[in-house]
Amino acid sequence: MKDFPESLTVRRPTVVDHARVLAVLDCWWDGFGGEAGSTERALLLPRLFFQHFATTSYLAERPDGDLAAFLIGFFSQSDPTVAYIHFVGVDPALRGRGIATALYRAFFEQARTHGRRHVHCITSPGNTTSRAFHGRLGFEMLSGVPGVDDLPVQPDYDGPGLDRVVFALDLAQPQAGGRGDERVAARPALRLTVLPTVFAVEHLADRRHRRDDSWHALVRTSEGLTVIREASGQTAPADRWIGIYDADAGHGLDVPGLLASVIQPLAEAGVPVFVASTYQADLVLTPESQRDRAVTALQAAGHEIVSQDPAGSAQADDRHVRMV
């Protein structure tokens, strides 16, 4: 992760981390809000965030495994332009080292990658540290009822008596502390299909390929010959790959971001890939054992997974991805 302390390790949270995060909240927030604040913080982080939003969240650990920071975020299911940062915490002993900023920027980049334009989040009106932090990152406070020092407050935002300050950030605008006026374009959403063929990938050191009709791609280099072929009944389960292909192949070579829009969400979901490119599109292979995870990650990124049409409409037939 860019600009993150090398001594810390960043990964996606898991369900096991739920209790670990809850255990540090009172200490890290120094008892802010008293007993009511403690209860409120715990209720804001139910287990479901660690079950269903892990691929858009981050957790940082020290070399000894102790928790250092976390960010819980997700992409809005109601507004395809919005990403939401729900809860962020950094160990007070590590504050001032840019950890929260690095986590936010990582989330911003992930949101951009998935076509999100805006990032929203909230804080308590009394949390002056949070307000200042979000202001430095370029967030704007949305209009509300004037409160103390004319602070725009959303009354009863999270329920009776639970007022909030609401922030919004436009990712298309230059970011505070960013690189001038550089803007990162959202990557395209595609219509993808999972090919009916199951593949195997081989490396032949002698650079020779047996003469048969089972291959789909051959790439010869000084290190040997790489072969993508149809898997057989003898192919071990760990060596079987599914093929994901553009159902609307033929975008041309001058369209940027097509391959990145597919492999980025797969990487974030922890799905390995092997890629072979044609003139028309890219054949992305993923382990057959991770098919469901791959499909879920691609759909969450905004891609549409379409069924093959035997009649040929919107089809990405595996015969179309044979290459040398």
Q: What is the pTM of this model?
A: 0.55
DSSP secondary structure of 153-210: EBTTTTSTT--BEEEEEETTSPPTTSSTT--PPPPPP-EEEEEEEEEEEEEETT----
- One domain for residues 50 and 135: yes
One domain for residues 53 and 139: yes
pLDDT tens digit sequence for 236-285: 999 999 999 988 766 666 667 788 888 888 887 888 999 988 777 889 99
125 and 15 in one domain? yes
Residue 106 shares a structural domain with residue 198? no
Q: Is 266 helix (H, G, I), strand (E, B) or coil?
A: helix
Q: Is residue 186 part of a domain?
A: no
Query: Are 162 and 223 in a shared domain?
Result: no
For 136-177, write each residue's pLDDT tens digit.
899 999 988 887 777 889 999 888 988 899 999 999 876 655
Same domain assignment for residues 47 and 159: yes
Instruction: Give 269 or 16, the one with higher predicted confidence.
Output: 16
Domain extent at residue 277: 191-321
> For residue 180, is it within any domain?
no
The answer on 199 and 166 residing in a single domain is no
What residues contact 297, with CB distance under 8 A and at least 6 apart?
55, 265, 266, 268, 269, 271
Number of domains forming the structure of the chain: 2
**Pairing, β 58-61 against β 67-75:** antiparallel
pLDDT tens, residue by residue, 60-85 = 999 999 999 999 999 999 999 999 99
CA atoms within 13 A on the CB side of 161: 3
